[in-house]
Structure 1
Amino acid sequence: MMAETPLVLPLSTCSANGLAEVGGKAANLGELVRAGFAVPDGFVVTTAGYDLAVAGTDLAQLVEAGDAAGIARLFDTVALPPELTDAIAGAYRDLDEPAVAVRSSATAEDLPDASFAGQQDTYLNVTGTDALLASIRRCWASLWGERAVAYRAQHHTGAAPRIAVVVQRLVPADVAGVMFTANPGNGRRDQTVITAAWGLGEAVVGGQVEPDEYVVTAGTDVRQRIAGKSVRAVLTDGGSTTEATPADLVDRATLTTEQARELAALGARVEQHFGRPQDVEWALVGERFALLQARPITALPEPTGDRPTEWPMPRDKAMYFRASIIEQLPDPLTPLFADLVRPAVPAGLKALMAELGPNLGELDIDFVTINGYAFYDYSNAALNKMWGMTPHALRLLSRKNFVLDRWRDRALPAYRDVVAPWSSRPPSELSGAELLQGARELLEAGCRYYTNVQMVIPMAATTELSWAALYDGVLRGSSDAQASDFLLGFDSAPIVAEKALYELAVWCRDVPGLPEALERVGAPLPHDAPEGVADADWGRFRARFAAHLDAHGHTLYNLDFANPVPADEPTPVLEAVRHAIAGRAADPAERQRRMTQRRSMLTGELMDRLDPVRRRMARASLSAAQRWAPIREDALAAIGLGWPTMRALLGELGARLVAAGGIESVADVYWLTEAEAETDAAALDDGGAVRDHRASIDERRMIWRGQALATPPQYLPVAGWITWMDSMMPAHTGEQTGPTLKGTGGSGGIVTAPARVLAGAEDFAAFQPGEILVASITTPAYTPLFALAAGVVTDIGGVLSHGSIVAREYGIPAVLGTGVATKRIATGDVITVDGSAGVVHLGGEPEAAAPAGKAVPTWAWVTGAAAATAGVVALIARRRQS
């Protein structure tokens, strides 16, 4: 093998095909040379040279023992074979023995999956054969340095790599730096990022100087930031050093705008040659650029647009709110959903308003997006009308069972009547226009239903707030029980779903081979039985699992239909079954039994010690609160009834557009506008061609990712009288800097544990028992995770939101409505959730945490006709302790 591979090769002969002989750095440089780029002359001492040098030594034993000092001594003293020294000396003479740069080129270095940048050594301004041989020895030794060994272990590279060494003519750079042909910060492929400093590039690579930065967009637009470059790297006898930068150069730009464009164009050619974004080291000598090395950029994020900082209002004399249905829309909207939902929400709201008050059916209301985020848009005149109809609406709402009967007997059946015919029609048999129309009608029905749910929520909130105020102000006495303890243990749709899933898991435990098989298979479940499971048993499991999804698989994570529901992406449900089978989740029926028993005991004790007058007050108030709390959860859980069918219809349209070449993947259909979808649906029906939307979809996704980094204001304009609504909004207003996040205490207690930030259902499988659940919102679909969580933190929500209610059922601390939790907290961060005080301490346990379970909440609530009907004006103020 060693005889077949030359000990030394010119760089011009190196390529990716010889990676095992010349290493990553030399392979990439050889590719550049062969492609005609300006690269300093040089050669490479191949891995065969390294193998020859260490043959017969005790290197393997020293490496196994971790003897770094012994390894260094070995490479300093080992006698190099004459044929190796002769080959190196001959190649050096062919260069005319100039000053050279000596760099390692390991076989696991500068690769697409791991760059290994900086893990081996570089030596500059090496002159003379003896100095060159010494530098090559040190490069070999650096393969076994602590940094390199640790890096390989972290990246699980397996067998130890071999190493080659690159020797190049030294470039006495006037300016040097690093260029990324795609922006590593935001992943944008149309942006080249250049860093530059005076002198050699080592000061930039080593982080010894703050360099100038140039961002070149689309090859022409140049944005620059000129740094104070206090030091520069320069050559010395036999090496390099840093020195103070001359005063007249400290604040001077290292590159002109034209030079930045020229370098970016050079980088674009390098990227095109390698077929992927590159990290390039470069030098400027006089007026010419030279390339010193190139490696693939690893871990490049998805392209992300700029984060919005301004929130322009579409029109004057209007107010904008993020509440009501928008609590279920925490992210920027996808284009198709934004277009379809815009008329649907006002239509449902106006229909209800027309019923509740005269002359309200034509209110000037809109549902707009600002920087991609949904906002209710109410003209000032519309708000005045709504406030003016308060007395009439209150009389209507006070009728016995008006809200309950309207939801149970009218709104819910009407919604089901729209869903049923569309769900019974196979999407494959519908035209493109029908697929889009079905999605439109289902979304409109869902929004009409949600408007009616917004009557249920204030009723449930009012009864619970009234009970809490009565209990804390008049009834509590010396009891340690909280007002919420009297409302726990009842069945609701999420709890029923959880118990049904747990019963399925219990059944699975006794089926031979099934628990082990479920750890191996994924969703969707395979039709054929896994190995070790009887066909009949597997058929029964599939049937029961499907029945569960039919009954409960419509629960939503997010109203935007681009987000899957359990019915069409059941992985989170399957993961919940696995946890329950393994005993990592508590029995929900047993938990409910204990809570019901405690509630009954507390209620009996309370009634026994009250006088007749207070007992009548307590029974009436408690009965109302206990009645409405489960109804609220049932109403919310049904919102997604139309979503599985809606997604199936749009999925069919997406599949047809993929086949026609209009989009890349089925899910891309959500990134079309309504007009684009209509045009393409008509083209499909007529047998015509569809437009190629791939470039515009990539652009929209990039913009969306930038928008998702922002924290939208809860209302606009953020000035004047409207600021009194701060405490009523479902999320904290402002960015919240510092070590503590303020929110609303939804469930008492204190816990310190690692956080798990969930962007959506795709993250559920990673959730581990004992972690703190951090999410934008929690909806009924999140309920199975509460059985595993140590605590809950959300961006959006309040003391009466789903997250608070379910957290109290599970007895775990919860802080909701922080506004920025998902942006300030990262998975793995150890945080402390103080549900009693409504704060989250970042970085672990605070020095002095508030005692758990003793705080008495101060309830404030606002009721009015608009509060009971309009949703956005239907705001229940929540406790905010700071």
Structure 2
Amino acid sequence: MSQAAPSPTPHPSPLLRSFHEVSRADIAEVGGKAANLGELARAGFPVPPGLVLTTEAYRIFVRESGIGTRLQELASAADPEDPEATGRTAEAIAALFAGAQIPEEVREQVLAASAQLGSPALAVRSSATAEDLEDASFAGQQETFLHVEGEEALLAAVRDCWASLWSARALAYRAQRGIGPEEVALAVVVQEMARADAAGVMFTASPTTGRRDETVISAAWGLGEAVVSGLVDTDDLVVDLSRGLVTSRSTAEKGLEVVPAVRGTEVWEIHGPRRRAEVLSDAQALDLAAWGARITAHYGAPQDIEWALVGTGFVITQARPVVALPPEAGPAPHDWSVPRPRSLYFRGSIVEQMPDPLTPLFADLTDAHVVDAMIETVSDASGRDDVFRREGVHFPTINGYAYYGYDRTALAMLTLRTTKFVPRLVTSGIGGPVYWAETALPRYRAVVAEESARDLAGTDARLLLESAERLVHAGFAYYTAVQTVIPPVVIAETSFTALCRRVRRDGDPRPEVLLLGFDSEPIRAETSLFDLAARAREHPALAEALAASDQPVRERPADVDPAAWQEWLDGFDRHLATYGHATYTLDIAQPVAADTPALLWDVLRMYLRGEGTDPRRRRAAAEQERVAAEARIIGHVPTPLRSVFTRLLRRAQHLAPIREDALAGVGLGWPAARRALLELGRRLVATGAIAEAADVFWLRRAELEDLAGSLDAGTALLPSRTGLVEQRRVLWRGQRLTTPPQLLPQRSALRFVDRWMPSVGEQTAADGSLRGIGGSGGVVTARVRVLAGPEEFREFRRGEILVAAITTPAWTPLFAMAAGVVTDVGGPLSHSSIVAREYGVPAVLGTGSATRTLRTGQLVTVDGGAGTVRPVEDDGSATGEDGEGAPA
């Protein structure tokens, strides 16, 4: 390993300090960067020698140059929501600094001290007092100047560092974090320039998976500026120190490097073998990772470290805490071996509502109940018990993901029986909308009502588990009934659409326009929430109190009228009781609004701010457009076809909203099931078995049944499962990093089945574009917002492209803000497609990997007609924040 370099002579002046005189306790005096470098140097790490011009020097400069008052005025007026105005503010401040002289006292001390460093080339770095903290990273907000030579160049670099405290980036970043201009000052690091042969960045925990046993290194030739600025492609390595191995290596073609120049740095082109040569050997990577482990141990937290290779040893040029490190995730699975080699596994039907790996308890419940509930419902709807059979059919999880599994005999019998089943279903012989409305829905509601009436506190632990299972089983049975609604809807819409396309003339509206503007359960839920916001706005104090709170408010604010408050609260509770069961995914571990009202709060606040559109107005506009489109097309349909056309149209219009109404009811039993399981969880917390009630979802069903038996037997203390729960969470996070194949085995002879899968699979082209299914026509260019679930709804901004694994009725309010929609899973008649058409936004569905391929903030063009999503070169013209996407 490299050795730490000696530090210059200590300086008694309040304006200058050597690295060995400062530590992380001195941020107010020397800023975050210098404090960390001093901490590293004092601990014996290999830091190039340097000194710090303290914040007192900056304050003397501002005071004696006379720019202080004007500086505060300008900085206080910066508006992070107005980038152009912030840019003008930064330019005005830069002009203030450029015209100011460095006081002689400061000038003399800087020049005298820098002479002690013994190097003609220096690195001059900004070190802000609100920088490199554990809860915020200001990396890149201020300037760094490399290979500075000569007295005047040094003084100019110092002044430019001071000025960079007020760059547009820094002003906007601090304003967003609520850091006022009076809270910050800037110190300047003056350090020997490390003449690096190679340099880069090292994270001592994986920034992608959060794994603490992985060190991630990026490396390039030349100075580290090329890596930090993103100028060059880097070699990327993953090191597992516990095994002493480089577990992953990607060697880039490195066409450029940054090298010292007469003044500053310059970029050179790399020729010959070095372009493809490995920057670090395995031994060097392990040596560097060992330094990272020591630095992490010193700070007690994972670090983001900048390093340089000088000759045969390493120097450390910066270390800061890794900000926003994700929870630790296990390795992403790559082996998709199937449980039964002679079976076919696919992700369709109810699995569309399970886009993520299943939590352990829900995985066991699905395995036990999905297939049985399906067979029971089909047998009941048909009056026959030979349509589907249990033999050869199962519902396992593979790497945590749910699959239907059929052995070859069962699949052959299913295909044969389906040829008889579907025609009867389509003609309403069995199942379909009537069975759903008159039998399945009332039956499900009866089970929910019975179980919701339980006195949970007085119910035995095992009965709580049985109650939850009964509700989940009823929900799966109901979902099967919903699936029988789909074929009539599909046939009605496709039959009408096919005829409409044959009789359309140039200028006629698209066929789907004639199916829009009808009421449905998701639209009614959105309207109810919109009305709650509208009623609150009638009482300004009430609206202000609600909008100011990040969480649902149950206690009346002091300045709100009691009658208005109670009326609004009663209305909110009615909304939750009526619509709060809408699921985001079917996994019962995922909260719904009925038991976690906070899930709706950000959408409600959106309406309180006046954002989004009035659902009634939008539906009225769609209805008006539909009526006009009907009149136009029917008016020129040939008389022999007119009655057929009208009959097909009316049937398609009748059935159009039914699928959404049916699907919206799937989660009716979920609030009661979650309440029962969380009550069981709370009892287990009291015994020490788990740390929090929600940990119950991470236990297997058999484990939970045994624990419930112990509770009923009166056991006061139980062995802790906390470590086991965390292990399963880590495993689940790793599983979530992968895209599950739609069909297994991957080399199956039945690959033709892929065309009926809810995702067309990973269709990422070389240019990063995605292909899916066009769900709603139109073309738009806007920025992406990838959302994992409702906990991230508050991050969504009007005019962005909503990217999600799948959208269910619970996602509907976001469509009012979206410029377009892209999903991993879905088809032309999925919820995403239907609602996107209602809102008139382009949608591309079933891409297979949009949530893993696209990144938040990326500029893309969504073409809902062609079913493509294409990355766009970003020239900064797209709004990206609270603005409308641009039609392409």
Give the whole-Å Cα distance in 1 for the aligned partners of 2:523 and 2:239: 54
What whole-Å deviation, never above 9, does each CA across 1:340-369 have from its counterpart, x for those lacking one? Answer: 212211111233455645384333111122
Structure-1 residue corresponding to 2:591: 564
Structure-2 residue corresponding to 1:819: 848
The 3 A distance-change label for structure 1 pair 657 and 454 is: same
Structure-2 residue corresponding to 1:280: 305
The 3 A distance-change label for structure 1 pair 213 and 369 is: same
Supply the AA of the counterpart residue of 1:104.
Answer: R
Supply the AA of the counterpart residue of 2:357.
Answer: P
Give the whole-Å Cα distance in 2 for the aligned partners of 1:658 and 1:546: 29
Larger deviation: 246-255 or 43-52? 246-255
Q: 8 Å contact 1:125–1:240 — kept in the other structure?
A: no
Give the whole-Å Cα distance in 2 for the aligned partners of 1:241 and 1:601: 65
Supply the AA of the counterpart residue of 2:133.
Answer: L
The 3 A distance-change label for structure 1 pair 137 and 610 is: closer
The answer to whether residue 740 in structure 2 is matched with residue 712 in structure 1 is yes
Supply the AA of the counterpart residue of 1:14.
Answer: V
Query: Equivalent of 2:761, from 724, 733, 744?
Result: 733
Alignment of 1:362-761 (within 5 A): 362-390=390-418, 392-393=420-421, 397=425, 402-403=430-431, 404-473=433-502, 480=508, 482-511=510-539, 513-528=541-556, 530-571=557-598, 573-578=600-605, 584-592=611-619, 614=641, 617-618=644-645, 620-658=647-685, 663=690, 665-682=692-709, 686-687=714-715, 689-690=717-718, 692-718=720-746, 722-737=750-765, 738=767, 741-761=770-790
The 3 A distance-change label for structure 1 pair 678 and 617 is: same
**Any idea what SS the aligned residue of 1:634 has?**
helix
Give the whole-Å Cα distance in 1 for the aligned partners of 2:560 and 2:720: 47
Aligned residues: percent identity?
42
Give the whole-Å Cα distance in 2 for the aligned partners of 1:830 and 1:647: 39
Supply the AA of the counterpart residue of 2:524.
Answer: V
Structure-1 residue corresponding to 2:364: 339
Structure ranking higher on relative contact order (CA contacts 8 Å, 6+ apart): 1
Q: 8 Å contact 1:313–1:370 — kept in the other structure?
A: yes
Structure-1 residue corresponding to 2:872: 843
Supply the AA of the counterpart residue of 1:780.
Answer: P
Query: Equivalent of 1:106, from 94, 110, 127?
Result: 127
Larger deviation: 509-518 or 264-273? 509-518
Q: 8 Å contact 2:239–2:285 — kept in the other structure?
A: yes
Offset, 1:12: 2.9
Larger deviation: 700-709 or 11-20? 700-709
Offset, 1:21: 2.1
**Any idea what SS the aligned residue of 2:657 has?**
helix
Q: 8 Å contact 2:345–2:406 — kept in the other structure?
A: yes
Give the whole-Å Cα distance in 1 for the aligned partners of 2:580 and 2:660: 15
Structure-2 residue corresponding to 1:159: 181
Offset, 1:135: 6.8
Across the aligned residues of Structure 1 and Structure 2, the Cα RMSD in angstroms comes to 4.4
Give the whole-Å Cα distance in 2 for the aligned partners of 1:242 and 1:435: 68
Supply the AA of the counterpart residue of 1:651.
Answer: L
Supply the AA of the counterpart residue of 1:184.
Answer: P
Structure-1 residue corresponding to 2:375: 350
Structure-1 residue corresponding to 2:290: 265
Give the whole-Å Cα distance in 1 for the aligned partners of 2:830 and 2:570: 33
Supply the AA of the counterpart residue of 1:141.
Answer: R
**Any idea what SS the aligned residue of 2:125 has?**
strand
Structure-2 residue corresponding to 1:15: 23
The 3 A distance-change label for structure 1 pair 104 and 506 is: closer
Alignment of 1:28-107 (within 5 A): 28-37=36-45, 39=47, 43-51=51-59, 56-58=64-66, 60=68, 66=92, 71=97, 79-80=104-105, 84=109, 88=113, 103-104=124-125, 106-107=127-128
Offset, 1:643: 0.9
Give the whole-Å Cα distance in 2 for the aligned partners of 1:701 and 1:562: 12
The answer to whether residue 159 in structure 2 is matched with residue 141 in structure 1 is yes
The 3 A distance-change label for structure 1 pair 46 and 329 is: same
TM-score computed with the length of structure 2 as normaliser: 0.80
TM-score computed with the length of structure 1 as normaliser: 0.81
Listed as ranges, the gaps of 5+ residues in structure 2 are 1-10, 75-90, 875-888
Listed as ranges, the gaps of 5+ residues in structure 1 are 846-882
Matched pairs, number: 831
Give the whole-Å Cα distance in 2 for the aligned partners of 1:785 and 1:282: 43
Q: 8 Å contact 2:518–2:657 — kept in the other structure?
A: yes
Query: Equivalent of 1:188, from 211, 227, 232?
Result: 211
Offset, 1:560: 1.3
**Any idea what SS the aligned residue of 1:733 has?**
coil
The answer to whether residue 807 in structure 2 is matched with residue 778 in structure 1 is yes
The 3 A distance-change label for structure 1 pair 281 and 683 is: farther
Supply the AA of the counterpart residue of 1:315.
Answer: R
Give the whole-Å Cα distance in 2 for the aligned partners of 1:232 and 1:607: 68
**Any idea what SS the aligned residue of 2:181 has?**
coil
What whole-Å deviation, never above 9, does each CA across 1:725-769 have from its counterpart, x for those lacking one? Answer: 344322223323247544333344445555544332233344445
The 3 A distance-change label for structure 1 pair 66 and 657 is: farther
Higher Rg: 1
Larger deviation: 636-645 or 215-224? 215-224
Q: 8 Å contact 2:345–2:743 — kept in the other structure?
A: yes
Give the whole-Å Cα distance in 1 for the aligned partners of 2:368 and 2:772: 33
Supply the AA of the counterpart residue of 2:207.
Answer: P
Supply the AA of the counterpart residue of 1:729.
Answer: M
Structure-2 residue corresponding to 1:116: 139
Q: 8 Å contact 1:651–1:667 — kept in the other structure?
A: yes
The 3 A distance-change label for structure 1 pair 6 and 683 is: farther
Give the whole-Å Cα distance in 2 for the aligned partners of 1:731 and 1:245: 43
